[in-house]
Structure 1
Amino acid sequence: MSWQPSNDPVLGDPVLGDPMSCDALDLVIVPRTRDLGDGFVVRRALPHGKRQMVGPFIFFDHFGPVQFMSGKGMDVRPHPHIGLATVTYLFDGSIMHRDSEGNVCEIQPGAMNLMTAGRGIAHSERTPDAQRASGQQMLGLQSWIALPAGSEEIAPSFQHYGAGDLPMISERDFTARVIAGSAFGITSPVSMVSPWFYTEVTAVAGASVPLDPDHEERAIYVVDGEVEIANERYEGPRLLIFRPGDRITVKTLKPTRMMFLGGDALEGPRHIWWNFVSSSKERIEQAKQDWKTGRFAVVPQEHEFIPLPE
């Protein structure tokens, strides 16, 4: 998606007064809220002034819940990406994805939609016709995965796995869907160019959920509900970032939905401008000119686009 309203890097607000007595907890981020119009609310957790990435996750938006009335919907016109992969994950609602590689796919709740931009791709995201006619509620997450050195200019590609294609575990008091990478001893079929993981966990009140200590960088995004870690309480929405190596047990105080995420740290920081991510400022300048002058491939069935921000 193209959520950034300006051409300035989004650094996020300062950390807002959360207790830090858990030694394994490195940072607590309260996502800042933006209303993009028509009641469409976005909560942005990454990038942040104190933390650019968790593993390769460089952008993390939580959108909704929003209720679109009959005849209304989301219309993100064609826009470009380089140097990243986008993950759109829905809890509620549907989005029609179209991209310049010719992929057309309706994203539904629980599905994994991974678009790898590499050297460049354009895409649009709109409410499907049937849902636009009847109206729909939407709630979901948009994440960007920065690509590692040596893979930033790979060919663009697209993967889609329905909810039923992703492995799940069901314990007495929680369920987990492994969207990407490995967690809870099971592995997603999604192909990746660097090691990272992404898992949805849904738990009843009173559950104890372990966070795998094997990943180099780890975080939990509490979508809704409330958790307790080392006798400290955290309500959603919060991004909790942990130090490596420690064993973490998350206790839920209310019915809770959360995302476990992270992976191997990249070899260095990234520059981010609008929808472009790169280890090179010069490459971002090139991407700006490529979009401005129409050198990106067009998205079939689309006749408009988002202009380069000035």
Structure 2
Amino acid sequence: MPAVTVDDLTTLARLPEPGLADRPRRVLQVTTAPQGYEGEGFPVRRAFAGIDLSLLDPFIMMDQMGEVEYAPGEPKGTPWHPHRGFETVTYMIDGVFDHQDSQGGGGTITNGDTQWMTAGAGILHIEAPPEWLVQQGGLFHGIQLWVNLPSDEKMVVPKYQDIRASEVALVSSYDAGALVRVIAGKVGPQGGPGSTHTPMALVHATIEPGARLELPWDPGFNALVYVLNGKGTAGTDGQQVHTGQSAVLGSGDYVTITADGSQESRSPRLDVIVVGGKPIGQSVAWAGPFVMNTKSEVLQAYEDFQKGSFGHIPGAGG
């Protein structure tokens, strides 16, 4: 897994141990992600399927893209598509994705990079593997998270953040048994590089077999743990979780994740995404690529898209 790694975790700054007054979070729900296909046919796991939106708030959904080893000619992406009213966060763990939009933006993300797109008032977007990867094949693995925007920010001007792997903040658990990559938000004293409209935190943690991660977590945020690969337990109540499962945690000051002492040879460590944010607490009207507050706003988004107000595909004329 080429996402940023460190050979010697003892060289990193360490997260603090929970204090006597800190409250652990217990598991409220464990779900298993159904598998499907997205875009032109790349495999995904719908990480948060089956979780009530009230528990997800401020998030809408998350897909685990891959993990898949493509043969030559197999890599796939998405066709041009619109977005309005939320942010997409694409974290590329392994492989390469090119992205382009109707405002002339674009770039390439690979091996630990993150592309954070604030769709806001509306944008057309495409994501695809580069031509050389289509020709030779290769490993493809990442996540895409959708983050809702509050009503007064749904129509902000679209923008991008390209967060390079080298910018991600790295810390270890207090006993150096886990590597914690802070992509956005603050975990204990450590802040990540991502700038967010909605207060939130996004972490990718790798936990050694038998190790336990006690992750400081803003008590005002919800908390969700998704297992990318491996097996272990979540919460102080020790709920079993494995590849493709999510755990929704209750209130508290820290998140507990423990890796089983024995892991599969192809997944020698437990890898998890931990995400949480301050609930927005507003109504959600969601249809396809549009996330608004009311049905009429969604219908307006479709109308604006059809009128071409999201911009035009580069090189496609009118």
Task: Specify the TM-score bucket, using the shorter chain as the normaliser.
Answer: 0.7 to 0.9
Structure-2 residue corresponding to 1:278: 292
Q: Is the 8 A contact 2:41 2:76 kept in 1?
A: no
TM normalised by structure 1 equals 0.84
1:153 offset after TM fit, Å?
A: 0.8
* 2:121 alignment partner, SS class: coil
1:57 and 2:62 aligned: no
Give the AA of the match of 1:179: I
Structure-2 residue corresponding to 1:226: 231
Structure-2 residue corresponding to 1:25: 27
1:65 offset after TM fit, Å?
A: 1.6
**CA distance in structure 2 between the aligned counterparts of 1:88 and 1:53, rounded to whole angstroms:** 22
User: What runs of 5+ residues in structure 1 fail to find an aligned partner?
Assistant: 1-21, 305-310
Structure-1 residue corresponding to 2:20: none
**CA distance in structure 2 between the aligned counterparts of 1:149 and 1:278, rounded to whole angstroms:** 8
Distance 1:191 1:36, change over 3 A: closer
Distance 1:52 1:76, change over 3 A: farther
Structure-2 residue corresponding to 1:18: none
Q: Is the 8 A contact 2:223 2:250 kept in 1?
A: yes
Moved segments of 4+, more than 6 Å: none
**CA distance in structure 1 between the aligned counterparts of 2:56 and 2:134, rounded to whole angstroms:** 35
**CA distance in structure 1 between the aligned counterparts of 2:185 and 2:51, rounded to whole angstroms:** 27
**CA distance in structure 2 between the aligned counterparts of 1:116 and 1:35, rounded to whole angstroms:** 24
**CA distance in structure 2 between the aligned counterparts of 1:219 and 1:49, rounded to whole angstroms:** 10
1:165 offset after TM fit, Å?
A: 1.0
Structure-2 residue corresponding to 1:82: 84
* 1:288 alignment partner, SS class: helix
1:251 and 2:253 aligned: no
1:289 and 2:303 aligned: yes
- Deviation string 1:111-157 (CA, Å, 9 cap, x unpaired) is 12100011101100011122122212111111100001211111100
- Deviation string 1:281-309 (CA, Å, 9 cap, x unpaired) is 111101112223333202325x49xxxxx
Structure-2 residue corresponding to 1:158: 160
Q: Is the 8 A contact 1:24 1:246 kept in 2?
A: no
* 1:132 alignment partner, SS class: helix
- Deviation string 1:89-122 (CA, Å, 9 cap, x unpaired) is 1211111010122112101121121000111011
**CA distance in structure 1 between the aligned counterparts of 2:41 and 2:161, rounded to whole angstroms:** 30
Structure-2 residue corresponding to 1:217: 222
* Overall identity of the aligned pairs, in %: 28
- Deviation string 1:197-217 (CA, Å, 9 cap, x unpaired) is 100001110111013242421
Distance 1:31 1:161, change over 3 A: same
Give the AA of the match of 2:82: P
**CA distance in structure 1 between the aligned counterparts of 2:132 and 2:306, rounded to whole angstroms:** 33
- Deviation string 1:165-210 (CA, Å, 9 cap, x unpaired) is 1111135221111111111421112211120110000111011101
Structure-2 residue corresponding to 1:190: 194
User: What runs of 5+ residues in structure 2 fail to find an aligned partner?
Assistant: 1-23, 264-268
Q: Is the 8 A contact 1:82 1:119 kept in 2?
A: yes
Of the candidates 182, 189, 206, which is equivalent to residue 210 of structure 2?
Answer: 206
Q: Is the 8 A contact 1:277 1:284 kept in 2?
A: yes
The more displaced of 164-173 and 134-143 is 164-173
Distance 1:164 1:250, change over 3 A: same
The more displaced of 88-97 and 289-298 is 289-298
Q: Is the 8 A contact 2:27 2:239 kept in 1?
A: no
- Deviation string 1:1-30 (CA, Å, 9 cap, x unpaired) is xxxxxxxxxxxxxxxxxxxxx982112121
**CA distance in structure 2 between the aligned counterparts of 1:237 and 1:187, rounded to whole angstroms:** 27
Structure-2 residue corresponding to 1:7: none
Structure-2 residue corresponding to 1:144: 146
Q: Is the 8 A contact 2:40 2:78 kept in 1?
A: no
1:174 and 2:181 aligned: no
1:262 and 2:266 aligned: no
Structure-2 residue corresponding to 1:3: none
**CA distance in structure 2 between the aligned counterparts of 1:269 and 1:66, rounded to whole angstroms:** 36
Aligned positions, number: 282
1:39 offset after TM fit, Å?
A: 7.0
* 1:77 alignment partner, SS class: coil
- Deviation string 1:37-91 (CA, Å, 9 cap, x unpaired) is 9873211133536345524111111121222222332131110000000001121
